[in-house]
Every structure is written in structure tokens, then in C-alpha cells.
């Protein structure tokens, strides 16, 4: 499945080439560690700060409030249709920082590698991170690598943290929703969660479903330009859109009314959801965001989103209301209204 990188053409042949997989010594701080960093990691992340290999990266950030976020990625399997853990690690943190309206400047990365992880797999993940960082326009400026014994982690865990600077005057907050505001979803639901589920052990699907992992910082820039009064932005990851919307309702003490017919789900994703009995509203997305904007800016924001690569299928999915504060209600295609509750734990495939 993974190609062995051409170590012979890297600068200098060292013991690294003799191993096909990560050894405990790769984390011990000696020659093998240095090798791993020099030969495999540095070339992919090529940033001036990282190349200095100091204990810390020194950044010259523009003035303003700093947005700072961290996330740890433990997804299994590490390779799935449409991406891998490396894509998620970069895009996930870029998005978390960018949801504040900040311009994302830099990421750190911490690797926990399992003894026995094939080097070719690690290399593939690094390449994904390189490409994702380039696409997002961010640099990886500092990092750390540890190796744990076989069985102590699932192949690889990645932590990324990110910093960005928020423009003056911008104060996005989930507590700022006001009745009348419109709720906009940037695209189709459940792509990522179902892509991962269809390759999980015990479920052997042949699926065309692809993860939607993507950096949204550029889309956010367009949204804020078209809608300076935007209240808040959030990416509906774990727990799905339902969780994010409930969080908004509770934070602002308002109700949200959704229109079920406005949600879009790709047919193959819908098919996978039907087979497993899973509700797309509760499935993770990794390349989507929910924006709440004042009613008079909704059309402009929608147009700006649809003009962007990552917002082509954007739709207005609902409205903020004063009724039923803290609760999210949805009008079904049949005209009835039902509650969209917070999920309890992970949705599991069911037969019942």
C-alpha cells in the first residue's frame, strides 16, 4: 500500500535506511532520532524556524490578540478515503484557530509514534502534512517526536497547536447570537465520519465516500469580508452539526429552528448512513463550517461562500429564534417539528 521513500537520494546514507519501521531508539534523542528528524521530517516542513532546531520557535507576530488552539489526532485507521491523520492534524488546527477570525501564522506538531510503525507510512503522513500546510498557507515551526512501545498507541498520534492574530474589532462568539440571525452551513454533511466508518474493522464497504478534510481559513476570510457582522463560526467535527448547533443555542440562550429540507447529503454518504442506521446530523465533518450571520448580511455571505472552492454547496439551514431557548428544533419535510438533541457518545451502527 505505501511506497518506500528513496532514502538513497537523501543527503547522506545513515543507519536510518536499515530500518523499515520506527524503533524505540528513534525517540531516544541520539543518532537515530537526529536521523529521523533530518532525513524524514525537516525536508517536509522546511521552515526557517524549524531548520534552526532550537528548543523553541521565535515568532515575529503582528500586533493584536493572539488566538491559540491545540488538538490531538488519534483517528483509526490512519489512512482513509480522501485523506489521512496528517491532513486532519494540519487542517483541524488551522480551522480551530481560523474560526476566531484570526490569520493563522504557525503550527507546532508533536508526534507519538508506535514502535513498528512502517517508515513508509510515517513518510506518507509527513507528505500529507506538507501539502496541507502549503495549501493552508501556514508553516510548521516547532515540533517534538516520541516513540512508545508496541501496543501503546495506535500507529501514530499527532498533536498540533496553532497561533494566529485576530484583527482589531472582530469579536466572534457563540454567545452573541440574536433572534433573527441566519444559520449557514458551508456544504454537505457527514462525509468525513462516514469515510472513516466505512473502512473501520468489521465493516468492509466498497465506498466512494471521501473525507472532506480541508483548510477553511481562506473561506473564512471571504465570509468576514462579505459579512462583517458575523456572530460566530464553528466547524462541526465530533458530534456533528447537531452538537455545534446545540452549543450555540445554549451559549447564547436562544433557540434555533432548522429546516430539514435545506441540509445536503451526498447520495453515497446517505446510502452508507441508511445501511448502518446512522443520522448524518451527528456525524463528524472536517472541511465544513457553520456561520451565524445577521439576517441582512446572510445573502451576501452565502454568495461569497458559494463562490469559494470549499463553500459551493453552502445553504441557509435555519434561523435563530427567541422560542425554546437552549434547544434546537427542526421542521421535517412533513411539516412536523422535532427536537435535535445532543448525542450521547459515538453513534454506533445498529440492526434495530
Partner 1 sequence: MKYLDEFRDPELAKGLLEEIRRTVTQPWTIMEICGGQTHAIMRFGIDQLLPPEITLVHGPGCPVCVTPLETIDRALAVAARENVIFTSFGDMLRVPGSRDDLFRVKSRGGDVRMVYSPLEAVKLARENPGKEVVFLAVGFETTAPGNAMAVKQAAAEGLTNFSEIVSHVLVPPAMEAILSSPDNLVQGFLAAGHVCTIMGWDEYEPIAARYKVPIVPTGFEPVDILEGILKTVRLLEKGTPGVENQYLRLVREEGNPVARAVVNEIYEVCDRKWRGIGMIPRSGLRIRDELAAFDAEKKFRVEGIVTEEPEVCIAGEILQGLKKPHECPAFGKECTPRTPLGATMVSSEGACAAYHKYSRKGLS
Partner 2 sequence: MCLAVPGKVLEITEENGLAMGLIDFAGTRNKACLTYTPEAGVGDFVIVHAGFALQVLNEEEAAASLKELGRLAEFMEKDKT
Where is 132: in which H helix or E strand? Answer: helix 119-136
If the CB atoms of residues 1 and 351 are measured against partner 2, the closer one turns out to be: 351
CB of 285 to partner 2, least distance (A): 17
Calpha distance 179→177 (Å, rounded): 7
The 186-215 site mask, x for binding partner 2 (CB under 8 A), equals: ------------x-----xxxxxx------
Interface with partner 2 (CB under 8 A), residue from 14, 34, 127, 270: 270
Q: 320 has which bridge partners?
A: 256
Q: For the chain, first and last CA: distance in Å?
A: 36
- Reported residue count of the chain is 352
CA 185 to chain CA mean position, Å: 15
- Please name the helix (run of DSSP H) or strand (run of DSSP E) that holds residue 163, with its range, or none: strand 156-166
Single out the residue of 143, 146, 36, 21 nearest to residue 90, CA to CA. 143
58 binds, among partner 1, partner 2, none (CB under 5 to 8 A by kind): none
Spatial CA neighbour of 278 closest among 185, 332, 350, 186: 350
**Parallel, antiparallel, or unpaired for β 182-185 and 79-80?**
unpaired
Q: Which of 49, 154, 268, 313 binds partner 2 (CB under 8 A)?
A: 268
Q: What is the DSSP letter of 118?
A: B
Nearer to partner 1, 133 or 278 (CB): 278
* Residue 267 in contact with partner 1, rule: CB under 8 A: yes
Pairwise CA distance, residues 235 & 227, whole Å:
18
Q: Which of 276, 299, 306, 325 forms a contact with partner 1 (CB under 8 A)?
A: 276
Sign of the dihedral through C-alpha 305, 224, 57, 286: negative
Among 10, 14, 270, 300, binds partner 1 (CB under 8 A): 270
Determine if 313 is a binding residue for partner 2 (CB under 8 A): no
- The residue (of 344 and 351) whose beta carbon lies closer to partner 2 is 351
For the CB of residue 214, give the shortest distance to partner 2 in the complex, in Å.
21
The set of residues, in sequence order, having a beta carbon less than 8 Å from that of 332 and lying 6+ positions away, is 260, 338
By CB atoms closer than 10 A (0-12, 13-18, 19+), residue 47 is middle
Using CB under 8 A, which of 1, 8, 58, 351 touches partner 1? 351
From residue 314 to residue 343, the character string flagging contacts with partner 1 as x (rule: CB under 8 A) and all else as - is: ----------x--x-x--xxxxxxxx-x--
Query: Binding partner 2 by CB under 8 A: which of 13, 137, 277, 326?
Result: 277
Site string for partner 2, 238-267 (x = CB under 8 A): ----------------------------xx
**Residue 274 binds partner 2, judged by CB under 8 A:** yes
Closest to partner 1 by CB, 48 vs 345, is 345
Write the Ramachandran bin of 125: left for phi over 0, alpha for psi from -120 to 50, otherwise beta.
Answer: alpha
Residue holding cell 425554546? 324
Tell me which stretch binds partner 1 (CB under 8 A): 80-88, 114-122, 197-205, 287-295.
Answer: 197-205
219: nearest Cα among 297, 302, 299 = 302
Within 198-227, which residues bind partner 1 (CB under 8 A)? Answer: 201-203
User: Which residues would be at the binding site for partner 2 (CB under 8 A)?
Assistant: 198, 204-209, 266-272, 274-275, 277, 350-352
User: Which residues would be at the binding site for partner 1 (CB under 8 A)?
Assistant: 201-203, 267, 270-271, 274, 276-277, 324, 327, 329, 332-339, 341, 344-345, 348-352
Amino acid at each position: 500500500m505505501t511506497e518506500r521513500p528513496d532514502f538513497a537520494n537523501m543527503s547522506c546514507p545513515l543507519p536510518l535506511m536499515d530500518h523499515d519501521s520506527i524503533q524505540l531508539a528513534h525517540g531516544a534523542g541520539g543518532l537515530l532520532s537526529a536521523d529521523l528528524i533530518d532525513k524524514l521530517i525537516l525536508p517536509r516542513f522546511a521552515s526557517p524556524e524549524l531548520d534552526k532546531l532550537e528548543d523553541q520557535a521565535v515568532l515575529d507576530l503582528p500586533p493584536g490578540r493572539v488566538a491559540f488552539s491545540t488538538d490531538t489526532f488519534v483517528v483509526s485507521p490512519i489512512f482513509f478515503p480522501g485523506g489521512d491523520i496528517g491532513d486532519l492534524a494540519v487542517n483541524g488546527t488551522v480551522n480551530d484557530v481560523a474560526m476566531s477570525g484570526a490569520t493563522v501564522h504557525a503550527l507546532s506538531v508533536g508526534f507519538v509514534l508506535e514502535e513498528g510503525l512502517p517508515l513508509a507510512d510515517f513518510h506518507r503522513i509527513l507528505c500529507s502534512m506538507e501539502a496541507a500546510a502549503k495549501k493552508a498557507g501556514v508553516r510548521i515551526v516547532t515540533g517534538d517526536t516520541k516513540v512508545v512501545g508496541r501496543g501503546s498507541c495506535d500507529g501514530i498520534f499527532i498533536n498540533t497547536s496553532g497561533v494566529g492574530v485576530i484583527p482589531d474589532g472582530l469579536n466572534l462568539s457563540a454567545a452573541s447570537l440574536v433572534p433573527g440571525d441566519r444559520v449557514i452551513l458551508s456544504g454537505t454533511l457527514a462525509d468525513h465520519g462516514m469515510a472513516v466508518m466505512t473502512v473501520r474493522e468489521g465493516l468492509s464497504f466498497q465506498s466512494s465516500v471521501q473525507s472532506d478534510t480541508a483548510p477553511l481559513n481562506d473561506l473564512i476570510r471571504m465570509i468576514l469580508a462579505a459579512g462583517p457582522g458575523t456572530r460566530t463560526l464553528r466547524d462541526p467535527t465530533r458530534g456533528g452539526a447537531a452538537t455545534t448547533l446545540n452549543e450555540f443555542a445554549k451559549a447564547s440562550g436562544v433557540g434555533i429552528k432548522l429546516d430539514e429540507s435545506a441540509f445536503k447529503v451526498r447520495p453515497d454518504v446517505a446510502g452508507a448512513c441508511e445501511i448502518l442506521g446512522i443520522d448524518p446530523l451527528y456525524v463528524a465533518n472536517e472541511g465544513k463550517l457553520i456561520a451565524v450571520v445577521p439576517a441582512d448580511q446572510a445573502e451576501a455571505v452565502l454568495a461569497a461562500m458559494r463562490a469559494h472552492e470549499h463553500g459551493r454547496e453552502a445553504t441557509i439551514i435555519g434561523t435563530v429564534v427567541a422560542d425554546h431557548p437552549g434547544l434546537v428544533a427542526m421542521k421535517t419535510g412533513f411539516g412536523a417539528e422535532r427536537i435535535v438533541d445532543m448525542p450521547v457518545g459515538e453513534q454506533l451502527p445498529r440492526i434495530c
